[in-house]
A and B are shown apart, each in its own frame.
Chain A
Amino acid sequence: SQQGEEDPQALSIQEGENATMNCSYKTSINNLQWYRQNSGRGLVHLILIRSNEREKHSGRLRVTLDTSKKSSSLLITASRAADTASYFCATDAYSGGGADGLTFGKGTHLIIQP
């Protein structure tokens, strides 16, 4: 089954620096989503990019999607301590947009050093 795989597994940077996380998947998708999870908490939806989009912005977040390489990246600019969390990509193979087809990767654990 298709699965998003994030890279790196863990990333530690200084506050103010940019953080980039990558996600690769295996088969065709309708959209790809990024989520954040603070330690032991629920997942928070960050951004959704559709298969016909190449780039999307939301505040300090920038997501790119390359369907030819089956990969996506999440860039967090000007990182803050509060950005410390695990970040997951999730691929959706179904056009309905619901969570049936959501397949999550194992996540990237991001640590922002003050």
Chain B
Amino acid sequence: DSGVTQTPKHLITATGQRVTLRCSPRSGDLSVYWYQQSLDQGLQFLIHYYNGEERAKGNILERFSAQQFPDLHSELNLSSLELGDSALYFCASSGNTIYFGEGSWLTVV
């Protein structure tokens, strides 16, 4: 158990819809990172938050957004979903080492 908690574990939704993925980092970790893993693109860094502030952006689409709240949990919002957004979305937090959550499986139908 990495200590990073992600919900939901699985979700299926239709094209055009919006979903929110939630991440709770390890106790004491201020950083939260989001990654997308798909068969064709592999693991792609999306965005990094540190103590509520956006620190870095990777290959994150404009339809996606994220935020980190005062209690340090983070949410990744995916809107106007397309079939190609189907993927495993990981959250990670770091102190001295990076710890990944178990991921949220998103299927867009």
Listed in ascending order, the chain A residues whose CB lies under 8 Å from chain B are 33, 35, 40-45, 48, 88, 90, 97-100, 102-107
Which residues in window 53-109 of B have CB below 8 A to A? 55-56, 58, 88, 90, 92, 94, 96-103, 105
Are B31 and A102 touching (Cβ within 8 A)?
no
Tell me if B42 counts as interface (CB < 8 A to partner A). yes
Q: How far is the CB of B55 from chain A (nearest CB, A)?
A: 7
Report Cα–Cα, A104/B101, bound state, in Å: 16
The answer to whether A105 and B100 touch (CB under 8 A), given A40-B88, A98-B48, A99-B92, is no
Q: Closest chain A residue to B41 by CB distance?
A: A106
- In the complex, the answer to whether B98 meets A99 with C-beta atoms within 8 Å is yes
- Chain B residues, CB < 8 A from A99: 31, 33, 35, 45, 48, 92, 94, 98
Contacts of B103 in A (CB 8 A): 40-42
Asked, given contacts A42-B101, A42-B102, whether A104 binds B42 with beta carbons under 8 Å apart, the answer is yes
Partner of A42, one of B2, B31, B33: B2
In the bound assembly, the distance between CA atoms of A42 and B98 in angstroms comes to 12
Interface string of B28-42 (1 = CB under 8 A from A): 000101010000001
Known: A42-B4, A42-B90, A100-B33; 20 extra A-B contacts, CB below 8 A, are A35-B100, A40-B88, A42-B2, A42-B101, A42-B103, A43-B90, A43-B100, A45-B97, A45-B99, A45-B100, A88-B43, A97-B94, A98-B48, A98-B94, A98-B98, A99-B92, A100-B45, A102-B45, A103-B45, A106-B42
Beta-carbon nearest neighbor of B57 in chain A: A100
Q: Who on chain B is nearest to A103 by CB?
A: B45
User: Least Cβ distance of B61 to chain A in Å?
Assistant: 17
A100 to B45, CA, bound (A): 7
- Minimum CB–CB distance from A109 to chain B (whole Å) comes to 12
Would B102 and A104 count as touching, CB distance under 8 A?
A: no
Task: Assess the B48–A100 pair: CB atoms within 8 A.
Answer: yes
Which B residues lie within 8 Å of A88 (CB)?
43
Q: List A contacts of B99 (CB < 8 A).
A: 45
